[in-house]
Amino acid sequence: MNGEQKPVEALSEDEAAAELQRLVAAIAEYDRLYYQDDAPGVTDAEYDALRRRNLAIETRFPALKRPDSPTERVGAKPAGKFSKVRHSLPMLSLDNAFNDGDVGDFVDRIRRFLGLAADAPVVLTAEPKIDGLSASLRYENGRLVVGATRGDGTVGEEITANLRTMDDIPKKLPDGVPDVVEVRGEVYMSHADFAALNKRMEESGRVFANPRNAAAGSLRQLDPAITAERPLKFFAYGWGEMSAMPAGTQMGMVETFAAWGFSISPLMKVFNGTSELLEHYRKIEAQRAGLGYDIDGVVYKVDDLALQERLGFASRFPRWAIAHKFPAEKATTVLEDIEIQVGRTGALTPVAKLRPVTVGGVVVSNATLHNEDYIKGIGRDGEPIRDGKDIRAGDTVTVQRAGDVIPQVIDVDLSQRRVDSKPFEFPTTCPECGSDAVREHDEKTGRVDAVRRCTGGLICPAQAIERLKHFVSRGAFDIEGLGDKQVDVFYKDGLIAHPSDIFTLRERDERSLKKLKDREGFGETSAKKLFDSIDARRSVELYRFIYGLGIRHVGEGTAKLLARTYGNWASVEEAARSAHDENSDARANLLAIDGIGATAVEAIAQFFAEDHNLEELKRLLENVTPQDVVAVQSDSPVAGKTVVFTGSLEQMSRDEAKAMAERLGAKVSGSVSSKTDLVVAGPGAGSKLKKAAELGVDTTDEDGWFKLIGR
């Protein structure tokens, strides 16, 4: 999403027309992904924001409203693999409320439309908004004859055979029902069933992102036998065509469905006015974690069906109903346990083990608790955070996920805390090796490090495995075919314990009775590919070699600075060894490098003062040659310029492009700003290319880039 959109009130007519064209295309594509492919392209919050902006522009410029406007349609056209079914009555979606004020406005609009006094009671139902796939079930003379998806609201996909496999859906209704009955509701999957399904599917290499995708994908199988194997459930909440109405209220109709054998939400209640609706909303939100299935809000409907008919419809929404959505990217769940994980630098990180909950379209079962002080409710400055609330196993907590950021626990509901709960005691010894775990003291700042670390170093198995994973990672040696899973297995089986062992693996395998090719998951071809991948990294860029060592505080950027400054490994090693002397010229020179601070220099000095590390370095250098750095061309056409690469590069990889630009003296950035000098765009370039145009930044394609640099 574009974070710097121009306010709607500031748009000119031409800008508004262009913006509507973009929004129509974007929303249509996201509808297709969601309704046809069961693979949402954006979060619910981002999608809702697009629709709200589209509506706001149409409201300000009504003459610009397009024939294909998303305000005139629901969902997406049915996919081609199922036959089509035209709904006898449209399956419309609901308008959304995002806060208490929106709900109050909704109730006030009902009063005004019906000509009621400002304080006249309005009776409404409230029920959880199930996050699944909408379906319509048509019964004739009590027998299920057609089942269909929502589709675009007018035409859906015929999936009768699949729906017949579900236990929650009656195949025959009791005697005495109307001749034509069309029951509508939501097909969904519980959290427990979703987890079990994904566990079974891991073997195939394809798992579902969340229960909604799992339900949709299971229901839209061409083979009903596959659907029958999936644990799908159905809640009834509405209707389409009815030859006779068995009740005069919304609640009465849903209770009738229950009497006919359908499952209905036990949380559906009838209320009188806004305050009661909001109170029930809060209760459902608090219970959300324990429901066992995903909901993303609460739906309010006028209870009296005669009033519903009078209110009618506005555009694609009924005037008598609205969905009060939960806050985006947040959810409430139960923190079942707190586990301590040991990272490659020895950091002890507390992880919340959560009752699975969907946050922003992703099922979350783990969340970070940052550090010891965060659990206690203490911030970096010693001031309380979360009002000083500590976090304990068994607590009901609020989890937040923003974009790709690791989910985190941000609040605790003390009203839900068990009477027997106890504060979490952070360990003072490493759970992996039993070594002391300490918090370092910074003599310069006087602060105690927020992170507790294992002092076991190279004897700690957790650190050894993580160091190996770091060594072979993409930013370091980037050994294809040697991922986290293989490192875990090879370490546990005693094949590799140190990075140097990786490069003697082929030689040792040739002498071994049990060959790699005979191990589970390998064969002759895959074993050879792995050995070849290892051999291909016996000569590696200097910065990758430095970064791969896993020195604390030496990230990829610092490794590149060291490589560019010293040019070759011998010079880097000499400077690093000499830097242990705080008064040495070598230490002063390291500190003088722009971008490398005292903390990193101290970590480098400590690493090279440790005999175990030097022994491993010697073994590693017997098998690997760090490449000398090619001098930066200060006279190149792009020297000193900031370059951004975007889109799908076809003549070079992204890493190759970045390395090439840096050798030519350019700075490579991941985002476009007013400081960007050039954007190199491949096919599929999107928002970055658009932003470059808005800012007047020069752009070119790959051919133009090679022509510019004289290649």
| Domains of the chain (ranges, CATH numbers) | 8-72 (1.10.287.610), 96-325 (3.30.470.30), 330-416 (2.40.50.140), 462-537 (1.10.150.20), 541-627 (1.10.150.20), 642-709 (3.40.50.10190)
The residue that leads in pLDDT, 584 or 198, is: 584
- Average pLDDT for residues 100-127, to the nearest whole number? 93
Q: How far apart are CA 240 and CA 184, in angstroms?
A: 7
pLDDT digits (tens, 9 = 90+) for 682-693: 887 878 888 888
Confidence (pLDDT) at 479 = 92
**Sequential DSSP letters for 36-60:** TSS--SS-HHHHHHHHHHHHHHHHH
Q: Is 241 helix (H, G, I), strand (E, B) or coil?
A: strand
> How are beta strands 313-314 and 269-272 bridged, if at all?
unpaired
Whether the per-residue pLDDT at 443 is higher than 60: the answer is no
Name the DSSP class of 666: P
Q: What is the pLDDT of residue 350?
A: 94
Q: Which of 129, 233, 301, 688 is catalytic?
A: 129
Residue 525 has pLDDT above 80, yes or no: yes
Number of Cβ within 10 Å of residue 3's Cβ equals 6
The pLDDT, as a whole number, for residue 37 is 57
What is the DSSP track for 322-360? EEEEPPTTEEEEEEEEEEEEE-TT-BEEEEEEEEEEEET
pLDDT tops 50 at residue 612: yes
Rounded to 10°, the helix 598-609/611-621 angle is 80
% of the chain with per-residue pLDDT over 90 = 37
Mean pLDDT, all residues of the chain:
85
Residue 597 has pLDDT above 50, yes or no: yes
**pLDDT > 90? residue 363:** no
Is the pTM higher than 0.75? The answer reads: no
Is residue 149 within 8 Å of residue 133, measured between CB atoms? yes
What pLDDT is stored for residue 328 in this prediction? Answer: 64
pLDDT band at 442 (very low <50, low <70, confident <90, very high): low
**pLDDT per position as a tens digit, 285-344:** 888 878 889 898 999 999 999 999 999 987 678 999 999 988 766 888 999 999 999 887
For 704, the token pair is 């133009």
What confidence tens digit (pLDDT) does each residue in 220-236 have? 787 888 888 889 999 99
Is the per-residue pLDDT at 1 higher than 60? no
- Name residue 531's amino acid: F
Q: What is the mean pLDDT of residues 114-123?
A: 90
Residue 376 is a catalytic residue? no
Tens digits of per-residue pLDDT, 234-279?
999 999 999 999 999 999 999 999 999 999 999 999 999 899 999 9
Instruction: Annotate 606-645 with b (16+ C-beta within 10 A) or e (fewer).
Output: ebbeeeebeebbeebeebbebeebeeeeeebebeebbbbb
> Does residue 218 register a pLDDT over 90?
no
Cα-only R_g, the chain = 31
